[in-house]
Amino acid sequence: MTSTIGQSPAGPGEIAVTPWRGLAGRDRLEAWRANVGGPVALDLAPAYRPTAVTDLVVVSWNLWIGRGRLGDVLARIRDGTDAPIVVLAQEAYRSDATVPARAAARAARRAAGGFPPLARPRADIVEVAGSLGLNLRYVPSMRNGAGRSDRGNAILSDLPLAHAWAFELPLVLQRRVPLAATLPLASGPVHVVSAHLDPRGSPGASWLGIQGRATQTVHLLDQLGGDVVLLGADLNLGRGRRERSWRLLHEARFTAGVPAAVPGWRHTFHGLPRLILDYILVRDRVSRVADARVERLDEHPLDRGPDVFGSDHHPLVARVRLHAPEAPTS
């Protein structure tokens, strides 16, 4: 039985990773698994005292293999709010002794190592969590070439993370492992998920990866139980809302993503071609979300510069307002 949100087999402080059990790519995934280190679960944030959280800030951001300056982004957000913050990060970078010293398999090493080293510094997500005093859950997806490091999805939070678990997606181009966690709020659990779909497929007719992303989306949705789910993801929808992946998410009642027409901007990927690839989506089956508004965060007011806070993606910020929990009846 696969794990679904709210039914993690791991206890607090642990992360269970459910492997992909389908036939396509199952054997090749063994090589990808052997090339990465272990999950990380750290509780570093001070105890959050408010008993009823009704305002929540959710940040979703592709950190470009650790080059994004998360501290600068959070400093700007905190300057205008005292609400707790949850970060759903993609391409978080980690280097520690759990990562094998040498790549174990040629195929996985070749597919994961296509990023040449750059002069820009890359921040280890564990060190970032420590410096910012945030709770951290991290699960690697793939190795970064021959170096002793990996990258994957991470969740950082002011709030306690009651459970966290992860699951492999069907293999299309690279190993992808979404990460989920539960926020135990007084009004009821809120489930947060960080995911990253493949940007393209294998060479040939499926090179654009549209069908592969749809296959990954089907499996992603199969894992997402729970009444209130906040999904932050780099969906890599090169064809936008014309892709089947978007239709599948919409049919699964995920809404409140990046609006189709936002004054002043039409992309979240800062490179070329400039596309909307990043989303924050909300599913609320029990009407606990009073409001959810998503905005794009720019470093330069005119969106200039080679990157955005060090990344090739813009951070997205969702300001979520929850209905206050009902007072107990006597």
Per-residue pLDDT band at 329 (split at 50, 70, 90): low
Query: What pLDDT sits at residue 47?
Result: 84
Domains annotated on the chain, with CATH: 15-322 (3.60.10.10)
Per-residue pLDDT band at 119 (split at 50, 70, 90): low
The answer to whether residue 184 scores a pLDDT higher than 50 is yes
- Cα torsion 298, 304, 308, 310: sign: negative
For the record, the structure tokens of 317 come out as 């910020």
Query: What pLDDT sits at residue 266?
Result: 82
DSSP string, 153-185: EEEEESS----EEEEPPPPSSS----EEEEEEE
Q: How far apart are CA 16 and CA 77, in angstroms?
A: 31
The answer to whether residue 261 scores a pLDDT higher than 80 is no
| 257 within 8 A of 280, measured Cβ to Cβ | yes
The answer to whether residue 254 scores a pLDDT higher than 50 is yes
Phi, psi at 106, each rounded to 5°: -65, -45
Query: What pLDDT sits at residue 13?
Result: 59
Query: What pLDDT sits at residue 206?
Result: 74
Average pLDDT over the chain, rounded to whole?
88
Query: What pLDDT sits at residue 23?
Result: 75
The pairing of beta strand 40-42 with beta strand 135-143: antiparallel
105 or 268, higher pLDDT: 268
pLDDT digits (tens, 9 = 90+) for 149-160: 999 999 999 999
Model-level pTM? Answer: 0.92
Query: What pLDDT sits at residue 27?
Result: 83
| 176 within 8 A of 141, measured Cβ to Cβ | yes
Residue with tokens 């599948």: 248
Question: Taking the CB of residue 300, how many other CB atoms lie within 10 A of it?
Answer: 8
For the record, the structure tokens of 111 come out as 């597919």
